[in-house]
A and B are shown apart, each in its own frame.
Chain A
Amino acid sequence: MPRNRTRITLARHEYRAAVRSKVLLGLIAIAVVTAAASVYIGAVDYRSQLADYNAYVTAATANGIQQVAPMPLQPLSLLRGAMEYLEIIGAVIGITIGYLSVSRERTSGTLPLLRSRPVSKTQLTTGSVLGALAIITTLVAATASVSVLSLGFIANTWISGDQIVKLALAYLAAIVYIATFYCLGVITTASSKVAANGLLVALGIWLCVVLVLPQIGDTLDPDNQVPGGLFAALTLDKAHEEQVLSHFGTYETVRTTIENASLEKHFERFAFAMTDVKDKYRGFTLGQLLKETLVNLIWLAIYPTALVALLYRSTRRQPTFNPGANP
């Protein structure tokens, strides 16, 4: 069998086996439904705000006003909730796919069978990775389709060509991000004698990286300590805010270092820049956005590269024959 065909066959096996898992399908359903619901909620609100803005434009034009205020609404920003669900639930799904991939082969005993054919361990791993990528892409594509259709049908806003490119990049980053957690799930499970312990270790790392570190960074931000923002409560504008914050250099360095240790934060910053969530990026071209988020892109490349290398190493060490299931 040609090498590529072998890999594709193995990837297909991985994909089919994964979608047979009820738990995985359940988690994917939770991710898609919650993402769709968050876009729906935002879209309904957006539709009423858009109607208000259109009424204002009509009234202003009828009264002969030349300078009409630009629309303050950004339709892509309605995807913020959907992106956040991919950050949290998507990462759990990635770990689950990785865990199931290893534990399934261990308990079903298909590994010795596969190894009795002319298939190398590298081909096996590549096939599994490709299969996992196909599952992750299906999940992200389903979330993206539901989100874009919700924007069109509920918010009455169909996204433009430029926005499609930005959105595609954000979802591509989501695939890389979830695939990184897939690698983590495989590594910890393959390194544990008891597969369930590997799953627990991966979930512990997920908890720290996805929830605890960003939470600490966010909570240490002085502006997040008062509802509506501390600087707004102190009636300080941006220039004054920067002047005050210049006295807190070390504190801000510690805070941002904690945030930067989290892969989740890098994905979030990139995805939010691509979906117009942050006002500071308003009016930026795609080139400018990519330049602004270059550091995040670099981190989004470093983490998966390192974990893919570890994944190949850990799966090579996996014994081919593992008699009996090990709970």
Chain B
Amino acid sequence: MIATVARQHVRSLRRQHVFTVTMFTFVAMTVSAGAIGWSSHNTIVRVYDDATALLGAEGKPAPPNPFELVAPLAVLTNLVIYVPLIGSLVALIIGHLSVADDQATGIGRLIFSRRLRRSSYLAGKLQGTGAVLAIALAASWVVSVVSLRIANGDLPGIDELVRLAGFELVSWLYLMVFALIGMTTALATARRSLGLLSGLGVWLVITFALPQFTSGLRPTTSLNPVTDPVNTSQTFFQITANARPISISEQYKTIGAHLLGATTDATTADVWLRTLPILAALAALGALAWWLVSRHDYSRGTTDA
């Protein structure tokens, strides 16, 4: 029965072209990340050559190349920004649609006229949503490999392919958090738009407000994969830094940057430890979604105001 619900959910997403839009979005953001990474990398190498020649003409020593130790996967660093920015919004909408559509079209009433447990219904919805996001991320992985081949002039090695797969796996976990946020806000509100906007409010808090409170990162700073260190010596940050683990967008960015070789600040053990808050958020939201689904009245429809 779980598989039937999942198949119906995926079919519904395909019929509404949401599946196609999701695939296009993930492929486009991977191509864009690769193109930007390649372009800025090339420009910086040329700037470095020009600067070295200029300083050499003046008899000054050449500074070390700032990109000398950059890992091949670092070309895709922008993905660390695009997944929390664009991917999570797409996941939120998929999660929202998975519940809101059944309420609006009356399919929910029809489904529960059959012998179906609420937990199986939720598991089916999660399976369908998870499958769509996994396919989109798998496409992103393939495009990433092609982008790396073009940008670096060489195919990535096994270690790099595994790291890239690890990045996609962590991205999937992070996106599932937002799909669950979309589901729970749709289940908790009586109106469809209210659910969507509430989900958006949560997304704004996680993506922009929490990093500012816990690490002093301004909203536009959060948009750049390379950030200057922020002075967090104030008492305010000494208190709020304790809440940094719950700032899952920061945790995701650190893990992503490490896996793509853009930073060497954290150890591998530390990086995997950072997935715990994401897993905890998944578990908590999953429990909340189950609680809401089991109490939801599917005999009522939703309005749009």
Binding site for B on A (CB under 8 A): 22-23, 26-27, 30, 34, 37-38, 40-41, 44-45, 80-81, 84-85, 87-89, 92, 96, 99-100, 103-104, 106-108, 194-196, 199-200, 203, 207, 211-212, 214-216, 218-220, 222, 224-228, 230, 233-236, 240, 243-245, 247-248, 251, 268, 325-327
Contact = CB atoms under 8 A, between A and B. Distances in A.
Q: Nearest 5 A-B pairs (CB), nearest first? A: A107-B305, A327-B104, A327-B304, A84-B219, A23-B197
A219 B224 contact: yes
Interface of B: 32, 36, 39-40, 43-44, 46-48, 50-51, 54-55, 60, 63, 66, 78, 81, 85-86, 89, 93, 100, 104, 192-194, 196-198, 200-201, 204-205, 208-209, 212-213, 216, 218-220, 223-229, 231, 234-237, 301-305
Contact of B50 (A23, A44, A247): A247
A236 B56 CA distance: 12
Contacts of A81: 212, 218-219
A248 B78 contact: no
Given A27-B197, A38-B212, A214-B220, A227 B228 contact: yes
Nearest to A243: B54
Contact of A219 (B40, B89, B216): B40
Contacts of A225: 40, 44, 66, 226
Given A214-B220, A216-B32, A220-B36, A233 B63 contact: yes
A106 B213 CA distance: 39
A294 B86 CA distance: 32
B237 to A, nearest CB: 8
Chain B CB count within 10 A is highest, among A84, A196, A245, A247, for: A196
Contacts of B47: 222, 230, 234, 244-245, 248
Given A92-B200, A327-B302, 7 more contacts: A45-B234, A89-B204, A103-B193, A196-B304, A207-B89, A214-B220, A240-B51
B201 A26 contact: yes
A66 B23 CA distance: 67
A244 B32 CA distance: 26
Given A195-B193, A200-B93, A240 B54 contact: yes
Contacts of A195: 193, 304
B228 A228 contact: yes
Nearest to B210: A34
B292 to A, nearest CB: 18
15 contacts: A45-B231, A45-B234, A80-B218, A203-B200, A212-B86, A215-B224, A216-B32, A219-B40, A227-B227, A230-B47, A234-B48, A235-B63, A248-B46, A325-B304, A327-B104
Nearest to A44: B234
Contacts of B236: 40-41, 44
A243 B55 CA distance: 12
A234 B208 CA distance: 32
A291 B51 CA distance: 33
A219 B225 contact: yes
Contacts of A84: 218-220
B238 to A, nearest CB: 12
Contacts of A41: 212, 216, 234, 236-237
A207 B200 CA distance: 12
Contacts of A236: 51, 54-55
B26 to A, nearest CB: 14
B85 A220 contact: no
Given A38-B212, A222-B47, A327-B303, A30 B223 contact: no
A201 to B, nearest CB: 12
Contact of B51 (A107, A219, A234, A326): A234
A244 B304 contact: no
Contact of B55 (A30, A200, A216, A235): A235
B305 A220 contact: no
B303 A325 contact: yes
Nearest to A326: B304
Given A199-B193, A244-B51, A87 B228 contact: no
B43 A248 contact: yes
Contacts of A240: 51, 54-55
B224 A224 contact: yes
A28 to B, nearest CB: 11
Contacts of A233: 63, 66
B40 A226 contact: no
A248 B40 CA distance: 12
Contacts of A245: 47
Contacts of B48: 234
Contacts of A243: 54
Given A87-B219, A226-B226, A227-B228, A99 B193 contact: yes
Contacts of A228: 228
B208 A88 contact: yes
B201 A27 contact: yes
Contact of B223 (A85, A89, A194, A211): A211
A41 B236 CA distance: 7
Given A30-B209, A327-B303, A251 B204 contact: no
A96 B32 CA distance: 29
Nearest to A264: B220
A220 B40 contact: yes
A104 B194 CA distance: 12
A106 B303 CA distance: 11
Nearest to B32: A216
A247 B85 CA distance: 33
B212 to A, nearest CB: 6
A106 B219 CA distance: 35
A150 to B, nearest CB: 13
